Structure 1
């Protein structure tokens, strides 16, 4: 991009961002203030809209138990995706296994399937194995749906690692597992952190799977908790709903601010057939 156009593009992007920034500022202010009906400006500071942090809302589970469920759901999904993807992608990239092309094509096909098309089959399987309405059951389903993306991304990074490095280690007597763990895996580390972050965010924001496959309060996550607030006609409170939404979004914003540079490395690996 020309240096002359850079200030113009920056100004245009800044102007386009103004409504979004104002929306978030108003959301933050509105959760800590009281505003009279028909007025725009708040007239008093209050913490009443955040009372869900120390007092259970009527008809809803404890917010901290729900937050713990959400953290377990997102973090365990992340761990499964990163560990399994790193091993499966290495196998598809380096080893001449039977039906390798079929597996690579299958990974792409599975990634293309919308979640909603698999719900009925997934529901029946979880009921059959006794994992319906449990957090482990939803974690396994979510991790399996995220695996194709992780495998394909990491395969691109593995493809860029020179063969000579591995061959030298194997000729020196190292096993294939040791070569992968001690030599190859550190070389693709720039992809592991972004993949872990994306997997965590995918688990943190998931709504459909927990709502359908774990509807009970004991396995409820924040996305389902938030949807329950807006659907509760008996205890409807828009200000509290906004506060819970801000509470729900805070970890995502913190993760993006802290790891935004690492997230940009996600697609640097490329793909090779």
Structure 2
């Protein structure tokens, strides 16, 4: 598996017609031209500028918007819901918690038809000028909803580990529950929030199905759909440029894995244990 990623990265710095193989490494000559072509929008060696530089930067920005949006929605929702499940006792609480876990068992692909039907139905009530913006919002909310159930359980685990006496002392001093949650409880679960932010960001960054269904028909591309568009026709695909896009697509995952692996593993284990 590792050799595959290494060949992908090396291909992004080569001028070969196709993907590099192990036998090609003997006469490998690195070059940054594929990265220049990618940023300038040259996706085929003989086709010229099929995209502009601004369009390529827009594709990267679209990917960041989806990833950041998913992360924000997941963190806000799971911290509030996780705290409610941890601290508030209400009728049907156990059944609702079980329902949350059941929802996590459904894969996103299995829900795509129902999600798309709801999208088409709601789109009819909006003016055409708002359709692109709504498509972005819909993708973010739909993708976030797939991450929220497990995130709620993880955050509940972290809140369960905080002694009730810490909050009670602040309430006795006159602080409201909202203020206690915001100023006392949340700072104590920062590792969990950081982990959820990373998990959710990567989920949005790596998503393909939802952005392909809802954004691509409107000619709104992310890196995932951009790469899919280029490799659809293998005869004309310029693999060094495609590899450059693929390498850029991998960078956030690699950075997060290298720099936060210990934090993520400890946070995930701690949240589930609680």
**SS of match in other structure, 1:264:** helix
CA distance in 2: counterparts of 1:30 and 1:239, whole angstroms: 5
Aligned equivalents of 1:80, 1:36: Cα separation in 2: 42
Q: Which whole-Å deviations, capped at 9, do the CAs of 1:233-271 have from their partners, x for residues lacking one?
A: 563222222221112111221222232232123221335
Q: Which residue of 2 aligns with 1:263?
A: 264
TM-superposition CA deviations, 1:25-69 (whole Å, max 9, x none) = 333333223459996233544333220112353666822111100
Q: 1:114 to 1:26 in 2, by over 3 A?
A: closer
- Among 31, 37, 47, the alignment partner of 2:12 is 31
1:104 alignment partner in structure 2: 97
Q: Contact 2:17/2:240 (CA < 8 Å) preserved in 1?
A: no
Conserved 8 A contact 1:35-1:44: no
Q: TM-score of the superposition, structure 1-length normalised?
A: 0.84
| Distance 1:99-1:145 versus aligned 2 partners, 3 A rule | same
Structure 1 residues 94, 241: CA separation in 2 closer, same or farther (over 3 Å shift)?
A: same
2:39 to 53, 60, 78: 53
Comparing both chains, which one has the higher relative contact order based on Cα–Cα distances under 8 Å and sequence gaps of 6 or more?
Answer: 2
Structure 2 unmatched runs, 5+: none
Matching residue of 2:66:
73
Contact 2:70–2:200 (Cα < 8 Å) also in 1? yes
How far apart, CA to CA, are the structure 2 residues paired with 1:128 and 1:60? 33
1:10 matched residue in structure 2: none
Q: Partners in 2 of 1:235 and 1:93 — Cα distance?
A: 55
RMSD: 2.4
- Cα distance, 1:178–1:227 mapped onto 2, change above 3 Å: same
Matched-pair contact (CA < 8 Å) for 2:15–2:33: no
Q: 1:198 to 1:36 in 2, by over 3 A?
A: closer
Give TM-score scaled by structure 2 length.
0.84
What runs of 5+ residues in structure 1 fail to find an aligned partner? 1-18
8 Å CA contact 2:15–2:240 kept in 1: the answer is: no
Provide the rounded CA distance (Å) in 2 between the counterparts of 1:116 and 1:25. 30
Deviation at 1:23, TM superposition (A): 3.8
Say how many residue pairs are matched: 253
Deviates more, 1:147-156 or 1:123-132: 123-132
